[in-house]
Amino acid sequence: MKPLVVANWKMNPTTLVEAKRLFDSVKKGIKKIKKVEVVVCPPLIYLSELRTQDSNFKVGAQNCFWEKEGAYTGEISAFMLKNIGCQYVIVGHSERRKYFNETDEIVSKKLKSVLDMELTPILCVGETKEERDQGKADKVLKKQIEIALNDVSKFKIQNSKFCIAYEPVWAIGSGKPCDVEEAQKAGLLIKKIISNLFNIKIAEKIQILYGGSVNSKNAEGYIKEAGLDGLLIGGASLKPNEFVKILKSVV
Ligand code: PGA
């Protein structure tokens, strides 16, 4: 399986012109890199402007709402995302949990709507610094995954592409990435949780990503040493040269 590298632009850049420029630089930079699958998740407002024809280069969304349509001011559904050619959706990012009070139950509803639309969810899980210091990191991951996948059928999950990103909250945007061994341990734990919920085949199929202060110096370790399936990148994805360096380092 090719490593999957997801760029989470968050609420950047501030103009469409810059967004197009950034997108084009990445597109150009990855032309010769065929062994990585790249997904760019821009702010929704730019999404339909940033099209790609390349099978290794796709667009995704940073969020969605769980209903298909109706009186939900300001929201966008998974159905709408699919309609404009989006293939991936980040669900449950810690910034959404923090600033928009997204609970595990809300994350679960969103996840199900993404799966129903046959889009690929990138479910984000991870403990805070406080939870880690209290020795609760494993418990937090288990709870987040179990609630998110509550009532998702084995059939649905085995017939979907599904990604889980381990994103320790303390590593995001902090310049303090998680150790490669710790990320590997978390990846194995996630597989075990999935295996217990469904079966080992499904656990093997799920792609595990790492996210949190990834840069061109540390990216390689998560893929080549820890054996993870991909990366979710925030800050470094806004610098095209750095981002392309990361892509080159993981193949
Ligand atoms: P970062 O963000 O790479 O800037 O730490 C990662 C993320 O939030 O997905």
What mean pLDDT comes out for the span 197-219? 97
> In this predicted structure, which of 10-14, 94-98, 144-148, 153-157 has the lowest mean pLDDT?
153-157
Phi, psi (degrees; rounded to nearest 5) at 23: -60, -45
Query: What letter represents residue 20's amino acid?
Result: K
Mean pLDDT of 167-190: 98
Stronger pLDDT, 9 or 34, i.e. the higher one: 9
pTM above 0.95, yes or no: yes
Q: How far is the CA of 82 from the centre of ligand 1 (A)?
A: 24
The stretch 67-92 carries a mean pLDDT of: 97
The closest residue, in CA terms, to atom 7 on ligand 1 is 234
User: For residue 31, what pLDDT band results from cuts at 50, 70 and 90?
Assistant: confident
CA of 173 to the centre of ligand 1 (A): 5
* Spatial contact of 239 and 215, defined as CB atoms under 8 Å apart: no
- 162 SS3 class: coil
- pLDDT at residue number 32: 84
Q: What percent of the chain has pLDDT over 70?
A: 100
Task: Check whether 1 has a pLDDT greater than 90.
Answer: no
Q: Are 173 and 213 in contact (CB under 8 A)?
A: yes
Where do the DSSP E strands lie in 21-82? 37-41, 57-61
At 66, the pLDDT band (50, 70, 90 cuts) reads: very high
Cα 37 from Cα 56, distance rounded (Å): 5
Burial letters for 98-132: b for 16+ Cβ neighbours within 10 Å, e otherwise? eeeebebebbbbbbbbbbebebbbbbbbbbbeebb
Residue 167 bears catalytic tag: yes
Average the pLDDT over 39-61 and give the result: 92
Sign of the dihedral through C-alpha 159, 160, 166, 169: negative
- The Cα 45–Cα 16 span in angstroms is 9
Nearest to 54 by CA among 85, 79, 82, 78: 85
Catalytic residue among 93, 95, 102, 131: 93
